[in-house]
Amino acid sequence: MATIGILGAGTWGTALARLLYLNGHSVTIWSAIPAELETMQQTHRHPKLPGVEIPDGLRYTPDLCTACSGTDLLVFAVPSVFIRQVAAAAAPYIAPETILVSVAKGIEPETFFSMTDVIRDAIGETANPLVALSGPTHAEEVGVDLPTTIVSASDDPAAAETVQRVFSNPFLRTYTNSDVRGVELCGAMKNIIALAAGVSDGIGYGDNAKAALITRGMVEIARLGEAMGCDRATFYGLAGIGDLIVTATSRHSRNNRAGYLLGAGRTAEQAVQEVGMVVEGLNALPAALGLSKRYNVELPITFGVNEIVHGADPKTIVNRLMNRAYKGE
């Protein structure tokens, strides 16, 4: 049995906490909002996870020291924009042998750091193994034990295998991967492409256009990843095309929903308000544009989404993308 702290009581952190507890581990959930924890403890429900029952044995705390101390694994499940702040605050309580697991998907715009890079930078020079856990996973489905696959990525094979063992059960199959940068890049960039797919739906275009945007979007992500030294195979595996498919097509996807609203004429602010949760694709845009410039890689779909977010006509942008001339497929 492992002792695990989950930093973040959102839908994904809660779904993983439930899974890990049912796997036989001791799990404590932390949130900076005590009322959020009190509601979950009293009702055994998360307000944004209908139909998901939270087990009685989970523990809750608003105290970082309690959540971090004595843990074998510490899971960072807060939105990407809060990862640095939470990691820095947690640093004094993290033992050097604790495996640090990031399930957040994003790129820090100021540094172009991945989330595991941000955690490492925020906690300082330590020997803690770092793992990125990413893949085609919706909390709404993991929370009710629907079959799911996920990728445990680390440059420390033992840490990746430990996370694989701790998280795996008959419903969640966990694979390992050593291409941490590629896995994390996919997790951030696919949200932008999912916005584009949603925009296409919001305009009223059909499955043909959406399939084209998804497929060319994956090529776009892989092109950037190769320029950054990532393994091309990563982009056509679960962490790449798998995660992109689920995010760009699912009714559970915040990014797809936000894109749909943009396509239907909402502003970015209105779309986020209607979705009611963090839309990581919008957070990832500044870093994606910066990476494009740094590595001299053209990202036409990403550029188009950025134009739409800043007020350009969605139909004009999607039409331009669909009529763009490409060499080869």
CATH value at residue 133: 3.40.50.720
Please report the pLDDT score of residue 126 as a whole number: 79
For residue 129, give both structure tokens.
């193994």
Residue 281 lies in a domain: yes
Residue 236 lies in a domain: yes
Please report the pLDDT score of residue 323 as a whole number: 83
Please report the pLDDT score of residue 111 as a whole number: 96
Contacts of 218 (CB under 8 A, 6+ apart): 193, 235, 236, 240, 241, 244
Residue 329 lies in a domain: no
Same domain for 300 and 207? yes
Same domain for 128 and 220? no
Please report the pLDDT score of residue 127 as a whole number: 83
Q: What is the DSSP letter of 132?
A: E
Please report the pLDDT score of residue 125 as a whole number: 77
For residue 311, give both structure tokens.
């007020």
d(CA 217, CA 228): 17
Mean residue pLDDT of the chain comes to: 95
Please report the pLDDT score of residue 177 as a whole number: 97
Same domain for 247 and 286? yes
Is-catalytic flag, 105?
Answer: no
Residue 267 lies in a domain: yes
| Ranges of residues in the chain whose predicted pLDDT is under 50 | none
Same domain for 99 and 201? no
End-to-end CA distance of the chain: 49
* Last-in-domain residue among 153, 178, 203: 178
Same domain for 173 and 216? no
User: Annotated catalytic residue: which of 48, 190, 210, 293?
Assistant: 190
Residue 327 lies in a domain: no
Same domain for 132 and 275? no
**Widest CA span in the chain:** 58
Please report the pLDDT score of residue 224 as a whole number: 97
Same domain for 199 and 171? no
Domains held by the chain: number? 2
What is the pTM assigned to this prediction?
A: 0.93
Q: Residue 217's domain spans which residues?
A: 188-322
Same domain for 172 and 275? no
Same domain for 74 and 193? no
Beta bridge pairs of residue 103: none
* Last-in-domain residue among 119, 154, 178: 178
Please report the pLDDT score of residue 325 as a whole number: 52
Same domain for 172 and 25? yes
Residue 199 lies in a domain: yes
CB atoms within 10 A of CB 269: 10
- Residues 288 and 193: beta-carbon distance below 8 Å: no
* Last-in-domain residue among 137, 158, 178: 178
Same domain for 47 and 137? yes
Residue 183 lies in a domain: no
Among 45, 51, 56, 57, residue whose Cα is nearest residue 14: 45
CATH value at residue 212: 1.10.1040.10
Same domain for 290 and 209? yes
Residue 328 lies in a domain: no
